[in-house]
Structure 1
Amino acid sequence: MTLSDRYAALHATSPSTRIRDAAVILGTTEAALVALGGATPLRPDWGAIFEALPEVGPIMALTRNDHAVHERRGSFVDVTTGPGHILVLGPDIDLRLFPRAWAHGYALGGERPSIQIFDRDGEAVHKIFADPASTDMAAWTALVAAFATDQPAPPPEAAVPRPAPVAEGLVDANALRADWLALRDTHDFFALLRKHKASRRQALSLAGTDLAARLETGAARAALTAASTAGTPIMIFVGNRHAIQIHTGPVQRLMPSPGGWFNVLDPAFNLHLRESGVAEAWRVVKPTTDGPVTSIELMDSDGGIIAQMFGARKPGKPELADWRGIADAVADAHALRAAA
């Protein structure tokens, strides 16, 4: 039986199964299933595609990982490209994209036209959905035609196992803490991890509870609820290996849904968080030249980042006192006191 036949059979018996879940059930890749359905393959000219997206007007951008889906509505503005990165720095669509391992792009039609990008393993990286009521569909059609190719690279049909987490070595906790306390920018944290050859989980575990406090996993819902109640604008980062998407603003309509998901369902921003996938939650404090920056960070069982929450801020501005109060209150109420 071909993959197409197997997918059709699955769809006939379980028509509501999402394509990402169908790929897992069938032991294939999401890109392979998309390619079956008459999608238009696109040239892998990623920078040029994103530089053209401002022309289409309002869209919905989606970035996800296994346990969080981040959907933001708005227009692409302030798009810049460079070696190994694409930045979108608009007030609504805010992206950090790393296209070195991107390999497959498709334009899909139907009621929800979209552009979908996959890495070389066939795993979804980023998706852009047109809204026929507000997107300039003539510009969308022209963009798809400009980047369509009749010689696409075939996506992998067999699922590719993800690399195992890197084994953790010995880390000098005192030296790591000293360098952490000397941080001057949140972006320097990645260099700190590299310098000490520490995983993120290791660093959080060794830094001291004033800098990184382990919390109960319900801390994420508590932080979102407190921010919603107070009307405090926050930043929510969700990413995967090749893309990070950021929401800045308030969160208002919160709602649990079947399957263990907790959701933000606002007109311009939706977040879907699979709470059962959150293995660890942390309150993290990083020194900067603008003062301490506090986050609530969620990790999966492999130590990968699911989502991060900060107070809304711009470089050169101190952290919102209201957000710091929320994070500290959540940390007090949800401290994992029995953590080893």
Structure 2
Amino acid sequence: MLSKRIHTLFALATALILSQVTPSIYATGDQSDASGLAARWAELRKEQPRLQIRDAAAKLKVSEAELLAAQIGQGVTMLQNDEHTFREIMRRALDLGQVMATTRNEHGVLERTGTAMRLKSLQDEQAQALTPENAREREERLRNIAGGYLGGEIDLRFHFLDWKYAFAVAQPGRDGNISRSLQFFDAYGQSVHKLYLRNEASIAVYDKLVQDFRHPQQQLALHIQRTRPTLTAKPDQEVDVKEFQLAWKEMSDVHQFNQIVREFGLNREQAFRLAPAGMAQKVSPAALRTLLDQAAQQKISIMAFLGNAGVTQIFSGKIEKTAASDEWYNVLDPAFNLHVRESALAQGWVLQRAGVTSVEFFDRDGHLVVSFFGVRERAKPQPASWIALASALPRMP
């Protein structure tokens, strides 16, 4: 079993990202039929063959889900789309073996190649005596993680209520070989999560999964919402700062922070500004590059949390290769890639909560892009190297 500390960090970072939803507006534009949209995309690909589908959708003024749906019958299959089915698809995907799991938000992408862990059922844990309340809590957690994905190489936390559409995609990749994936989208047509098959021995398993969850109406119309609600916070002068700071200091687990923020009606950046002295230090966007470079050079194990309203993906371990590419800063390891749009970052924060040090980076609209923790062994304090790295990050002027 994972340590209580790890579970706590998972709960914190998942709630962090679920509370931060990047606003997006797709202009209505020319809502032509599927064949017309497919033709427009085909023409765009001729002009820009390396253009990613997300960027192509933005140029064509549609959502990524709509662009994918325009290819149904051409290697794209619509899958059933309700909360229970999404969970069952991900549960079945545990049988695919090695996959590449891709999660993104507006300014960050986390890609991890590996095999997901499968959790034992409640009945299999004969040695663990659970109260009825604890048993209910654990069963709820199992539903939220689809029977696996807790720790290990493919480490995910789901919020299926924000999943809306699902597709199976089997099309030639840039190398000419067929790429097989499961792709999930929210009500705004934006990508929630993607799983790419990396195990040829599981092609039959993939095909059976697609067959079992194929939607009976392949030309089902997508009802895409075009705008997201904005988040508002209570004015500073209406906050009981003294009580808030006391609540911060009395935290015994970092996951309690999310409840405190809700109780006082704050947003995250506002909470950091009003934090007790020494508990929240603002750092510059350049701190992202410093953190990743130093973690690689010093071989410090880190946890990176990145996600959106529907899923959070976590990487834990050491990183090796970091590099800049245009406006992005990247980790480019064989089984782990992290891409963060440096130009979109406005600030970061080094935080101290319940004895845990973390670093969070936000975009100009105040939305969380990526957060980091140090990895520590069970029942041991945080590594001094992680604390030193976070403490030395360049501060904001």
TM-score (norm 2): 0.78
- Counterpart mapping for 1:129-168 below 5 A: 129-133=196-200, 136-151=202-217, 153-156=220-223, 160-168=226-234
Letter in 2 for 1:138: A
Letter in 1 for 2:184: I
Please state how far the C-alpha of 1:315 moved relative to its aligned partner. 6.4
Q: Match for residue 232 of structure 1?
A: 300
User: Bigger CA drift: 12-21 or 244-253?
Assistant: 12-21
In the alignment, the residues of structure 1 paired with residue 183 and residue 222 of structure 2 have an alpha-carbon distance, to the nearest angstrom, of 13
SS state at 2:68 partner: helix
In the alignment, the residues of structure 2 paired with residue 62 and residue 296 of structure 1 have an alpha-carbon distance, to the nearest angstrom, of 22
In the alignment, the residues of structure 1 paired with residue 106 and residue 92 of structure 2 have an alpha-carbon distance, to the nearest angstrom, of 29
Please state how far the C-alpha of 1:94 moved relative to its aligned partner. 0.8
Please state how far the C-alpha of 1:3 moved relative to its aligned partner. 2.4
In the alignment, the residues of structure 2 paired with residue 41 and residue 317 of structure 1 have an alpha-carbon distance, to the nearest angstrom, of 47
| C-alpha RMSD of the superposition | 1.9
Structure 2 residue aligned with 1:50, among 63, 74, 90? 90
Structure 1 residue aligned with 2:159, among 98, 101, 105? 98
Please state how far the C-alpha of 1:178 moved relative to its aligned partner. 0.9
Q: Is the 8 A contact 2:96 2:206 kept in 1?
A: yes
Please state how far the C-alpha of 1:314 moved relative to its aligned partner. 6.0
In the alignment, the residues of structure 2 paired with residue 261 and residue 171 of structure 1 have an alpha-carbon distance, to the nearest angstrom, of 37
In the alignment, the residues of structure 2 paired with residue 139 and residue 75 of structure 1 have an alpha-carbon distance, to the nearest angstrom, of 15
- Counterpart mapping for 1:1-340 below 5 A: 2-38=36-72, 39-44=76-81, 45-78=85-118, 82=140, 85-86=144-145, 88-110=149-171, 111-133=178-200, 136-151=202-217, 153-156=220-223, 160-169=226-235, 170-258=238-326, 260-287=327-354, 292-313=355-376, 316-330=379-393, 334-337=394-397
SS state at 1:146 partner: helix
**Count of residue correspondences:** 327
Please state how far the C-alpha of 1:173 moved relative to its aligned partner. 1.9
In the alignment, the residues of structure 2 paired with residue 320 and residue 246 of structure 1 have an alpha-carbon distance, to the nearest angstrom, of 19
Q: Is the 8 A contact 1:61 1:73 kept in 2?
A: yes
Q: Match for residue 126 of structure 2?
A: none
Q: 4+ residue runs of structure 1 moved beyond 6 angstroms?
A: none
Residues 1:314 and 1:94: Cα distance change in structure 2 (over 3 Å): farther
Residues 1:304 and 1:43: Cα distance change in structure 2 (over 3 Å): same
Q: Is the 8 A contact 1:32 1:156 kept in 2?
A: no
**Which structure ranks higher in relative contact order (CA pairs < 8 Å, sequence separation ≥ 6)?**
2
Letter in 1 for 2:169: L
User: Bigger CA drift: 145-154 or 79-88?
Assistant: 79-88
Percent identical: 34
In the alignment, the residues of structure 1 paired with residue 379 and residue 247 of structure 2 have an alpha-carbon distance, to the nearest angstrom, of 21
SS state at 1:297 partner: strand
Q: Is the 8 A contact 1:281 1:297 kept in 2?
A: yes
TM-score (norm 1): 0.91
In the alignment, the residues of structure 2 paired with residue 94 and residue 313 of structure 1 have an alpha-carbon distance, to the nearest angstrom, of 17
User: Bigger CA drift: 7-16 or 18-27?
Assistant: 7-16
Q: Is the 8 A contact 2:248 2:276 kept in 1?
A: no
